Amino acid sequence: MTRSNRQLTQFAVRKVEEFIRFGPDGFQDEAQGNTEVKIEHSSLQVRLFGEVIFSIGNSQVTLFGGNFYDSIGRPSRTTRERLNGLLDSLGQLHFIPEGTRAFIDKETGQCRVGSGDKTRNFDETTKPISIISNPNSLVFS
């Protein structure tokens, strides 16, 4: 897998922000490099190398590992970088709490999603993680 590219993360962030601000009307599916953003079943999806890593719709965001994992089952560095750019943007737009991230726990070595003491495990054995839109509290569904 190629190394992550911030320019491609910013492309995905821009498209998600357009979707949140203006809705699906007139939205244009678009791809740049290894990253594609498109409408599927009334939700916006971000794909990395053709695999869904992020979906937003119905007042929630869902995170997927994208079938790209390191040797111990954590989502790839590129996947985490794309997701963190998107999560940061959603926090700034008050869709979810600011500071929500996908990160490697220094004590356990596990990949986690969340903030502070409210986190969920995020690896190849877990189901996709859904976060309900609430700017004041991190709510997993």
- What is the percent of the chain with per-residue pLDDT over 70, rounded to a whole number? 96
Q: What is the pLDDT of residues 46-70, one digit of tens each?
A: 999 999 999 999 899 999 999 999 9
- Residue 47: what pLDDT? 97
* Domain assignment of residue 128, yes or no: yes
Q: For residue 119, tell me if it sits in a domain.
A: yes
State the Cα–Cα distance between residues 33 and 5, nearest whole angstrom: 9
Q: Tally the domains of the chain.
A: 1
If we measure between CA atoms, which residue out of 88, 75, 43 comes closest to residue 61? Answer: 43
**Better-predicted residue by pLDDT, 132 or 23:** 132
- Tell me whether residue 1 is in a domain: no
Residue numbers of the domain that contains 101: 6-140
CB 129 within 8 A of CB 113: yes
Instruction: Give me the chain's average pLDDT, please.
Output: 93
Express each pLDDT in 71-127 by its tens digit: 999 999 999 999 999 999 999 999 999 999 999 999 999 999 999 889 999 999 999
Is the separation of the CB atoms in 46 and 12 below 8 Å?
A: yes
Task: Name the pTM for this structure.
Answer: 0.93
